[in-house]
Amino acid sequence: MKSILIVEDIQVVRRVLAMNLQKMGYNVFEAENGQQGLKIALREKPDLLMTGLLMPVMDGFEMVKEIRKDITWGKNANILILSDLKPDAEVNSKLEGVKPIEYMIKKDWTLEELSVKVKSILG
């Protein structure tokens, strides 16, 4: 069974995503900030990491950079950014070198569209 880690500080968003992905048959892990997400990601090595960018304790930018330093799993891990931030020059410069596989602006998609995206990433 493929696994997905959701790193999102807004609990209701995290739970809705988790329930939807579990219904699709995925094993889901959850974290409420980048620090928790980093620990879970390095321990569980999920098939897909879904993360926000603006979070307390450790933001998504820093978490993704730390994950990419892991040469065994993290360097090529599938990452889907789910953020309210538009990928402008400032956001892109903060993500430079970390190669997120996808970037979706939260208010621009439905759960169905997200489900299709997850399936396309995980095959």
Domain-embedded: residue 23: yes
Which CATH number is 54's domain given?
A: 3.40.50.2300
Residue-number span of the structural domain to which 16 is assigned: 3-115
- Of residues 87 and 59, more confidence is placed in 59
Domain-embedded: residue 63: yes
Say yes or no to pLDDT of 85 above 70.
no
pLDDT for position 36: 97
Domain-embedded: residue 30: yes
Domain-embedded: residue 89: yes
pLDDT digits (tens, 9 = 90+) for 19-33: 999 999 999 999 999
**Composition of the chain by helix, strand, coil, percent to 5:** 45, 20, 35
State percent of the chain over pLDDT 70: 97
Q: Domain count of the chain?
A: 1
Domain-embedded: residue 67: yes
Q: Alpha carbon 118 to chain centroid distance?
A: 11
Domain-embedded: residue 121: no
